[in-house]
Amino acid sequence: MEHTVTFTTEDSKAVTVKVPTNTMLADAAHIAGIDIGQPCGGQGRCGRCAIQVTDGSVRRRSTLRLSPADLEQGYALACQTVIEGDVQIFVPPQEKIERRLTTDRVVAEVTVPADYEYLNDQTVRRVHLRLTPPTMEDQTDDWSRLQTALRLQTNINKLNISLPLLQTIGDVLREGEWNVTVVLEYPLQDLEAPTRLISLQPNLVDEYSPLWGIAVDIGTTTVTLWLVDLVTGQVRAQVAEYNGQIARGEDVISRIMFAGKNGGGKEMRQRVLDTINGLLERACKRVKAKPEEVFKATIAGNSTMIHLLLGIPASSIRLSPFITAVNHPPILSARDVGLNTHPEASVDCLPGVASYVGADITAGVLSSGVDTAEDVTLFIDVGTNGETVLGNRDWLVTCACSAGPAFEGAGVVNGMRATQGAIEEVWINGESFEPSIRVIGGGKPKGLCGSGLISLLSEAFLTGILDKAGNVNLTVNSSRVRAGTHGGEYVVAWGAETESGEDIVLTRVDVDNLLRAKAAIYAGFTVLADTVGVSLEDVSKVLVGGSFGKYINVEKAVQIGLLPDMEWSRFEFLGNTAVRGAYYTLLDWRKRERVTEIAKRMTYIELSADNNFYESFTSALFLPHTDINKFPRVAEALESK
Amino acid sequence: MEHTVTFTTEDSKAVTVKVPTNTMLADAAHIAGIDIGQPCGGQGRCGRCAIQVTDGSVRRRSTLRLSPADLEQGYALACQTVIEGDVQIFVPPQEKIERRLTTDRVVAEVTVPADYEYLNDQTVRRVHLRLTPPTMEDQTDDWSRLQTALRLQTNINKLNISLPLLQTIGDVLREGEWNVTVVLEYPLQDLEAPTRLISLQPNLVDEYSPLWGIAVDIGTTTVTLWLVDLVTGQVRAQVAEYNGQIARGEDVISRIMFAGKNGGGKEMRQRVLDTINGLLERACKRVKAKPEEVFKATIAGNSTMIHLLLGIPASSIRLSPFITAVNHPPILSARDVGLNTHPEASVDCLPGVASYVGADITAGVLSSGVDTAEDVTLFIDVGTNGETVLGNRDWLVTCACSAGPAFEGAGVVNGMRATQGAIEEVWINGESFEPSIRVIGGGKPKGLCGSGLISLLSEAFLTGILDKAGNVNLTVNSSRVRAGTHGGEYVVAWGAETESGEDIVLTRVDVDNLLRAKAAIYAGFTVLADTVGVSLEDVSKVLVGGSFGKYINVEKAVQIGLLPDMEWSRFEFLGNTAVRGAYYTLLDWRKRERVTEIAKRMTYIELSADNNFYESFTSALFLPHTDINKFPRVAEALESK
């Protein structure tokens, strides 16, 4: 028996074909010339081939990737659904499908906090001053004249000025004919403290034109910088780059050791300054601003990164009993720090907790809101140092484990940051072993970013290319699976298709790095939860931070055993929580105070002395884990293969 | 008739001679082989030949240089006393005579203020800290650990630290095995303000061993530095040197103009820094200290000097309406200023009043006590800028006049500072025109210092070598009076007797410079007194400041018309009042506050716009003045010639 199938696409194009009963919808679409993505090879795994049955009768063999709400709206997987009558099909645009998938977690967008009020919350502000010119009868000195004008116009009684600014005051006042624009830093957290003069310009600059600040996260692997207009609060540019220190060591320990050598500390400092100043330049170019027009910087980063940035020896961080020189540096000037912003710009390095739980985590807790959560929340920063925080508004515990940079695309042969050209998702056909990839920006692939690596690792495991222990199964019948220089490898993209012309591969060594990274993170949060006697079942939300680009496929992160196996709806992906926290504190002095409170409240649990951690780490060095019972959904998926 | 004359000297040696009646005592001494100084040539003018008649009968022809008390003790001038019977004569050592003369004013000695209490008055103090070492159970960061120890031991709650110090904290604490010595700057004037960490040393330095500070006066011509132990308050070294800026202009105006040229400001700054740092090195060597062990600097100086020191453009000081960029600079660090003390040393440039009344004068008022005087007091700073203050505890007015550097020995052919080898006093024999000189240190003369120049100018005038207008009388019958390249000149010392082998002379050009300097100063204080309606008769005390070495002959300063003609007992010579004021404020924060009060209280009177000043100046360009009635005592001395 034949049925009429009409496919309608978003652009209202309709194509009708006739097919026999029990024809797979995917095949009917193929006949109709409609391209429906099937990255998993028609195995019902990926959910990418979802279409909407608007009228008629179909039978769904599997609804693995569909929610009840999806079913109510008529969604069906084209690869798992057969035609049983005349049907009307709407083919949603592929992108819409991808974004709809419950397994994908979209990074929370950056919006200006609704309650941001420049004139109440911001410590750095621009003010016009009109001074009375001096005469023979009024020979008041320039500096007193400026202070008097400020006192009369703004009620500020104590004003600090640096010598370099004092050196310009006479010329600026005269050039501006006694009308000047000043940028001030208000001591909103301590009204007795003096206000500080940051800049003095010889004309009346529009008081509400953009006033630039930057929020920076110095990751061990990736440095992220947001350029913010402090007047509106808007993030006007977001840029990121590998930390230039990587050339001298991938993890904090090797960085500290290098910095301890003669001249090493100076080199480390210069390298990260070069990275930040490069990002500053790039971000400013985008909005046609100049670096020296940036008046405030708020910096998050782990304790080692902050020490190296400030040229503070970090060797005691590495040696028992693991002590930082400073968890909460004073506010400094850009001149002292070495940033190419305005030299008087205020540089605020946020407070950390301990040697291995730094300001990136306190900022992350702020931006993720763990410290105000009613229910127990787990916050996992999937970065080089794998910090984890567990708690709620009543208590906060934290630990760190050295995960390495694999999930940031470093230390992996074809790894890269989540930027233009990065493969961010991989599906492998279970029969042909051919991959489907999604590339950020859509062009030729250049390499694999963190989410791409997670996706690839999971797919290679589920399709049998890798075994539980991560060994490459060279008996797989595909030219993509081959023996490489460092053991077996899988070719994700042939040289002919790539930007560089070289094959993009996942090697056995890469797999080991990824396994160690995911095992460290998994061991970190599980041991932390055990230590405080919390079951992961009791965790109401898992907030995941990390530099993964725009999306992360939570299911795949669970399948490799990076994240705990729980309802996908409990996961939220927050992206770079550290720079987001730095951004919030850059805007609002109350949030800045909250970070200090968070740092005080957090209890640090040292795992390096904990045998349970090593056991847990070793058990987690498998896909997904030596104890498959901890991953029931993954077990199910493996069985259904 | 013959009489027996016995001369006894301090070493109890007795010499007896027989001489006829009416023999001059000086001649009898000559016969006895006793050397009695007669610098004025036996004219009874200098008083240097005073001896003591212990028994017997003499007749005194003149007692001009003897007080009633002197006469009661039997003093007589050997050149003015004839023998009328057997006499016993005691010949006091020459030095004792010199110091006894009522015309000489000895510089006030520097003693530690009686009420100085290190622990109450000093803002910079040394404290021992014993910290609890960190453990795995107490992983507090180094900086917090230090702050906690300080809070427990001293009640200090707010502590500031600079980045360079923060960079050393970890190493210092560990090197000292958690016992350290800190140097702190306490905000004694504002208890809400934070305490500042100046230094951190890895051992327990004796808390009461010397803690060094410096008081500095940056004069246009001379820079003076006192090295002070802040614990005891004692001045341990006093050094002075010409300001290295002299090579680029003798007065503030030419300095400002040079500084306004491309790179000129930088050069000026470096030159004065080199001078100060050189003095610092010299002073430290004397007490075997190191410059980097100096933790506090208090600096006085006129407004231009302070601007140039701090690299602040000074051009507006020179141009109407004569405005400084800053009268009261904030407290800075030695690192910012460029001093070679400890880089964190606190550098406090004292507050000034106006472009031409700077911190040297406010400091001078403090140290001279004009601001607390009951009676009207005149304070004259005989320096390059000739500042004058008139007032008492109720009111203070001040003015400045550009005197030039002549009285500091600069801008004069054979001028020099009042140091080893400087001729500090000159007497000229009224008949032979041969000079007697007193040289600082007693060796060969190198040149003439301020007091020597005053003395020489006065003697040359009184002996007729110079006329009222300062012209050299070439008809004088002496090879010492001769025509030089620049007009007439007088040879004070022949090359054979001098250190350099060159003649030391006073030229017509030198005389002009000295006349202009003394006329400016005289015009300054007289016009100031006129302006506020005070007669010089009503001035109870004249306090004279200046770099004149240890003594100044007030009579001679009056004879040339530099100081007003009044009872010599009303004069006090204070030496460098600016550095003394800086010293007092270096020790005691209450005195530091008093300087700020003085600066606020002083009313500046601008003379540059005052016609009276020019008239008065022109009238004073003569010896002693066009109107001799203003100088009755000088008129008397001229008549008695």
> How are beta strands A435-439 and A396-399 bridged, if at all?
unpaired
Between the ranges A148-157, A287-296, A559-568, B7-16, where is the mean pLDDT highest?
A287-296
Name every residue whose Cβ is closer than 8 Å to that of residue A58 and which is 6 or more positions away in sequence. A25, A76, A81, A82, A83, A84, A85, A87
Res. B67 pLDDT band, cuts 50 70 90: confident
Among B420, B403, B627, which residue's Cα sits nearest to residue B522?
A: B403
On whether any CB of chain B is under 8 Å from the CB of A609, the answer is yes
CB A516 within 8 A of CB A509: no
Cβ <8 Å between B139 and A313:
no
Could you tell me what percent of chain A has a pLDDT over 70? 97
Q: How far apart are CA A75 and CA A91, in angstroms?
A: 10
| ipTM > 0.95 (yes/no) | no
Residue B383 confidence (pLDDT): 87
Under a CB-based contact definition with an 8 Å cutoff, are residues B25 and B83 in contact?
yes
Reply yes or no on whether the pLDDT at B221 is more than 60.
Answer: yes
Q: What are phi and psi of B414, to 5 degrees?
A: -110, 30
* Mean pLDDT value across chain B: 92
pTM: 0.88
In this model, does residue A161 exceed pLDDT 70?
Answer: yes
Tokens of B217: 């006066």
Contact (Cβ atoms closer than 8 angstroms) between residue B411 and residue B404:
yes
Q: CA-CA distance, A635 to B148, in Å (whole number)? A: 54
Mean pLDDT calculated for residue range B121-148: 95
Give just the sign of the alpha carbon dihedral B168, B169, B174, B178.
positive
Residue B608 Cα, gap to closest chain A Cα (Å):
11
pLDDT at residue B114 greater than cutoff 90: yes
Please say whether the beta carbons of B472 and B508 come within 8 A: yes
Instruction: Tell me how far apart the alpha carbons of residues A481 and A80 are, in angstroms, rounded to a whole number.
Output: 28
Tell if the CB–CB gap between A337 and B310 is shorter than 8 Å: no
Encoded tokens for A42? 């028609």
Rounded Cα–Cα distance for residues B214 and B290 (Å):
12
Beta carbons of A143 and B328 less than 8 Å apart = yes
Residue A100 has pLDDT above 60, yes or no: no
Q: Give the integer Cα–Cα distance in Å for B65 and A230.
A: 81
Strand pairing of A603-604 and A346-349?
unpaired
- Give the model's confidence band at A151: pLDDT under 50 very low, under 70 low, under 90 confident, else very high: very high
What b-and-e string marks burial along B393-430, b requiring 16 or more CB atoms within 10 Å of the CB?
A: eeebbbbbbbbbbbbbbbbbbbbbbbbebbbbbbbbbb
| Beta-strand pair B541-545/B377-381 | parallel
- Show residues of chain B in contact with A195, CB under 8 Å: none
Instruction: Look at residue A12 in the predicted model and tell me its pLDDT.
Output: 81
* Chain B touched by A639 (CB under 8 Å): no
Q: What residue of A is the nearest CA neighbor of B313?
A: A167
Interacting residues of A257 by C-beta distance below 8 A, sequence separation 6+:
A249, A318
pLDDT of residue B132: 96
Nearest to A31 by CA among A43, A49, A21, A18: A18
Using a 10 angstrom Cβ sphere, with 0-12 exposed, 13-18 middle and 19 or more buried, the burial of residue A217 is: buried
Kindly tell me if the per-residue pLDDT of B98 is higher than 60: no
d(CA B500, CA B490): 18
Note the pLDDT of residue A42: 77
How confident is the model at residue A553, as a pLDDT? 85
Q: Smallest Cα–Cα separation from A217: which of A271, A278, A292, A298?
A: A298
Statement: residue A396 has pLDDT above 60: yes
The pLDDT value recorded for residue A347 is 98
Q: Which residues of A touch B135 (CB under 8 A)?
A: 321
pLDDT value for B102: 55
CB contact under 8 A, B604 and A139: yes
Q: What is the mean pLDDT of residues A411-416?
A: 92
Q: For residues B458 and B435, what is the distance between their CA atoms, to the nearest angstrom?
A: 12
How far, in Å, CA of A455 to CA of A449, rounded? 10
Picking from B136, B143, B312, the nearest residue to A325 by CB comes out as B143
Tell if the CB–CB gap between B170 and A143 is shorter than 8 Å.
no
Determine contact: B322 vs chain A, CB below 8 A: yes
As a residue count, chain A comes to 641
B604 → chain A, closest CA residue: A139
Q: The tokens 């990390």 sit on which residue?
A: A546
- pLDDT at position B95: 63
Q: What are phi and psi of A138, to 5 degrees?
A: -130, 90
Q: Which of A158, A167, A307, A344 to mutate to test the interface with B (most CBs of B within 10 A)?
A: A167
**Inter-chain contact B327–A144, Cβ cutoff 8 Å?**
yes
Tens-place pLDDT, residues A350-362: 999 999 999 999 9
Task: Report pLDDT for A1.
Answer: 83
User: With bands split at pLDDT 50, 70 and 90, how would you rate the model's confidence at B97?
Assistant: low
At B289 the pLDDT is 96
Closest CA to B243 of B201, B198, B204, B274: B274
Residues in Cβ contact with B96 at an 8 Å cutoff, skipping those fewer than 6 apart: none
Q: Are A554 and A107 in contact (CB under 8 A)?
A: no
CB-based contact, B610 to chain A, within 8 Å: no
The conformation of residue B329, written as its DSSP 8-state character, comes to P
B606: contact with A, CB 8 A cutoff: yes
Q: Which amino acid is at B438?
A: R
Computed over every residue of chain A, the mean pLDDT equals 92
What's the rounded Cα separation, in Å, for the pair A62 and A41? 15
Compute the average pLDDT of residues A101-129.
86
- Split at pLDDT 50, 70, 90, the class of A33 is confident
Residues in B touching A171 (Cβ below 8 Å): 313
> Can you spell out the DSSP letters for B439-493?
ETTSSS--EE-HHHHHHHHHHHHHTTSB-TT--B-TTSS-TTEEEETTEEEEEEE
Least confident of A220-229, A370-379, B482-491: B482-491
Question: Above pLDDT 90, what percent of chain A?
Answer: 73
Min Cα distance B163 → chain A (Å) is 7
Q: How far apart are CA A450 and CA A510, in angstroms?
A: 12
3-state secondary structure of B610: coil
The yes-or-no verdict on residue B116 having pLDDT over 70 is yes
pLDDT digit string, tens, across residues B384-443: 888 999 999 999 999 998 888 899 888 899 999 988 999 999 999 888 999 989 899 889
pLDDT confidence band for B57 (50 / 70 / 90): confident
Task: Give the minimum alpha-carbon distance from A209 to chain B in angstroms, rounded to a whole number.
Answer: 29
What integer pLDDT is reported at residue B104 of this predicted model? Answer: 61
| B397 vs B388: CA distance, rounded Å | 8
Comparing alpha-carbon positions, the chain A residue that sits nearest to B173 is A325
Do A327 and A351 touch, CB atoms closer than 8 A? yes
Using 50, 70 and 90 to split pLDDT, how confident is the model at B377? very high
pLDDT of residue A194: 93
Residue-wise pLDDT for A419-470, tens only, equals: 899 999 999 988 899 998 989 888 999 999 999 999 999 999 999 999 999 9
| Whether A175 contacts chain B with CB within 8 A | no
Q: Is the pLDDT of residue B105 over 80?
A: no
How confident is the model at residue A118, as a pLDDT? 97
Phi, psi of A598 (to 5 degrees): -60, -45
Using alpha carbons only, give the angle A450, A456, A458 rounded to the nearest 5 degrees.
105
* Residue A580 to residue A379: CA distance in whole angstroms: 14
| Contact flag B144-A330 (C-beta cutoff 8 Å) | no
> What is the Cα–Cα distance from B367 to B361, expressed in whole angstroms?
10
pLDDT on residue B33: 85
The residue to which tokens 């009522």 are assigned: B102
Alpha-carbon distance of B269 to B242, in angstroms, equals: 15
Q: Could you tell me if A16 lies within 8 Å of chain B, comparing CB atoms? A: no
Structure tokens that stand for B439 in this block? 């040289």
Q: Is the pLDDT of residue B22 over 80?
A: yes
